[in-house]
Amino acid sequence: MYIHSASAFTGEANADIHFLKEEIRRYTQENFRRVNRFILLSLLGALQCVHQQPLEAATAVYLTTEDGNLGETADVLDEIYESKSLPRPFGFINTMSNTAAFHLARNLGIRGRNITVSSQHLSFERGLELLKADFAGGAERSALIGGVDESSLSRMNRKEPSGRGWRMVDGSGWFYVKLEKEGACGAFTEIMSFRDGPSCMRWIRERERSPVEVVSFGALIGDDEATALRETLRPAAEFDYLRDYGYSGSATACGVSLFVGLFQAKTLLHINRDQRGNYAVIELERY
């Protein structure tokens, strides 16, 4: 899977929705009607990613998200339970988070699969796996894949995983990927899944590809674990995107796409885990 462009939008939690609309005008003339924060965040991140990038007409969209549309779902529940009325039609339709992927495909005029998928703490990694299967099976040759999440009250309240004092942000990180290498700026060279920490660690120790120059950790990787991994991967530098850019449910997609734009280094290893102790590693090479 070759990366042809990558970028991320991270914004202050609860930013004015008009600000998001203004930002989007930098990339498109279209006035998006009947949209909410989640849809605007998706559009903003993805349009920023493919701005000035020629797109294949046959391009799929894989939207990954931890929480999907939080704000408008809460609003619609309030219309029903507090205002004791039927919800407004647009509001109800937009509680379905895949409407964001629809707006994106329509605005860009692309035709292909359109998938919205989630997986606790590993949504972006799981989306990459589905995309990999579609590329391998010949279903698609070109795709936009991203992670989008509004800042979430529940994650903040439970101090999970922002207990380490990360700022809570809105996040939307995207990649334009193709089967073809020509014109690419990088590649996802591995997407690995492990049932436990030791097998993940073993794979990292035994891997023989180019040396890791930068390592980054997902939100649930504990301090001790991170220390051990840093030691194993020495002298790799660390990209602490959670500290530098803040946390959202889609921090992984944001962090990894930021790496492509910010670093000169060649190889990134992003190590992540879920609450069950399943691990996932993304290996990315910049050209």
Residue 134: both structure tokens together: 């579609």
- Whichever of 211 and 277 has its CB closer to other proteins, that residue is 277
The DSSP-derived string for 4-61 is EEEEEEEEETT--HHHHHHHHTTT------S--HHHHHHHHHHHHHHTT----SS-EE
Identified binder of other proteins from the candidate list 52, 54, 81, 205, rule CB under 8 A:
81
- Residue 118 beta carbon to other proteins: minimum distance, rounded to whole angstroms: 4
- From CA 106, how far away is CA 83, in angstroms rounded? 33
Identified binder of other proteins from the candidate list 26, 164, 181, 195, rule CB under 8 A:
195
- Residue 230 beta carbon to other proteins: minimum distance, rounded to whole angstroms: 26
Contacts to other proteins from residues 246-265, by CB under 8 A:
249
The DSSP-derived string for 62-76 is EEE-SS-S-HHHHHH
- Whichever of 91 and 263 has its CB closer to other proteins, that residue is 91
Site pattern 226..245 for other proteins (x: CB under 8 A): --------------------
- Residue 255 beta carbon to other proteins: minimum distance, rounded to whole angstroms: 18
Identified binder of other proteins from the candidate list 12, 16, 53, 74, rule CB under 8 A:
74
- Residue 265 beta carbon to other proteins: minimum distance, rounded to whole angstroms: 29
- From CA 266, how far away is CA 202, in angstroms rounded? 22
The DSSP-derived string for 260-285 is HHH---SEEEEEEE-TTS-EEEEEEE
Contacts of 7 (CB under 8 A, 6+ apart): 45, 48, 49, 173, 174, 257, 258, 260, 261
Does the protein bind other proteins through residue 267 (CB under 8 A)?
no
Other CB atoms within a 10 A radius of the CB of residue 54 amount to 8
**Residue 146: closest CA among 227, 27, 65:** 65
- Residue 241 beta carbon to other proteins: minimum distance, rounded to whole angstroms: 20
Residues near other proteins (CB under 8 A), total: 71
Does the protein bind other proteins through residue 29 (CB under 8 A)?
no
Does the protein bind other proteins through residue 113 (CB under 8 A)?
yes
- From CA 276, how far away is CA 203, in angstroms rounded? 19
- Residue 110 beta carbon to other proteins: minimum distance, rounded to whole angstroms: 8
Identified binder of other proteins from the candidate list 6, 20, 122, 253, rule CB under 8 A:
122
- From CA 206, how far away is CA 277, in angstroms rounded? 20
Identified binder of other proteins from the candidate list 13, 15, 55, 96, rule CB under 8 A:
96
Does the protein bind other proteins through residue 112 (CB under 8 A)?
yes
- Whichever of 86 and 206 has its CB closer to other proteins, that residue is 86
Residue 141: both structure tokens together: 């040759």
Does the protein bind other proteins through residue 102 (CB under 8 A)?
yes
Does the protein bind other proteins through residue 190 (CB under 8 A)?
no
Site pattern 142..161 for other proteins (x: CB under 8 A): ----------xxx--x----
Q: 280 pairs with which residues across the strands?
A: 193, 272
